[in-house]
Amino acid sequence: MKKNYLTISEISRIVNLPIRTLHYYDQIDLFKPAYVDPLTHYRYYSETQIYQLDLIKSLKYIGTPLESIKYAQSLTPTQLLEFLSDQEQRVEQKVQRMLEVQQALLKTKELITEKMNIPKYNEVYETEMTSQRLIALKTVDLNVDNITGETFSTFTKMVEREGTIISKYGAIYEMKDYETFKQIFYDYLFTPLLTERYVELIHEDEQILEMPGGKYANIAFLFENNETYFKAYKKLCAAVQEPHSPVYEVFMPMNYSPTEPTEFVVELKVKIK
């Protein structure tokens, strides 16, 4: 055996990889020792092999599968350059996805803060809002009393298909002088879009809407029954003489505990001058 060989412990320390990882790479023929002692079966490596591990570690770091790394080892320099360009595109896509995740987290924090900062319940108050993109499902003859699991499942699948999450959900309907709660029917179910990514819709009843920015009159209340809802709605109507938008109804959970009953705060919003 040549004296310039490195033991597996030495190369493990040099390249900062666990010995068990080097064993595994040997088993799958990804990185083989330069020499194996026939008596002791100890693995030994040449210093010139370190560059092979540099490629493996670099590709592994960006999430390249081991099978693809093994394929890369067999490429010519020209082919390897094309392979690395492809990996670069994949990394750019991952970076964009992580930026979208970060944006979604920030928007979700904003929504929770919005709920925490409701100044008073069962009284009308004003807020200033920026415009929001909404992903919406057109509905017919639907209100809070008859939302079925099937309807909500359709809505949830639409949202998930577009790569977003339901941070809060709500409905849109026209502000009128309704005589009873049962006369209120939704035009849309919606949830805010948490990123600016392009959304491709595939069904006629799916739409991207914009909730305009500006000053809104709001009323928030703990949802108990239809009577409490309609009482709050009538109070909002009395305060808003000339609405400049439909009513945006938002349901927000008070807790996320799996063992406690879920309570919802409902906030009704309508744009004013």
Question: What integer is the mean pLDDT of 197-201?
Answer: 68
Q: 6-74, what's its fold?
A: Multidrug-efflux Transporter Regulator; Chain: A; Domain 2 (1.10.1660)
- Domain 101-271, what architecture? Alpha-Beta Barrel (3.20)
Reading phi first (left if > 0) and then psi (alpha if -120 to 50, else beta), residue 100 is in alpha
pTM above 0.85, yes or no: no
What type of residue sits at position 21?
A: T
Q: Where are the domains of the chain?
A: 6-74, 101-271
Range in 101-115, 174-188, 229-243 with the lowest mean pLDDT: 101-115
pLDDT bucket at 197, cuts 50 / 70 / 90: low
Q: What is the pLDDT of residues 143-193, one digit of tens each?
A: 877 776 677 677 777 766 655 555 678 899 999 999 999 999 999 999 887
What are the angstrom distances between the C-alpha of 172 and each of 49, 140, 249, 263? 65, 12, 6, 21
Find where tokens 């799996």 sit.
Answer: 258
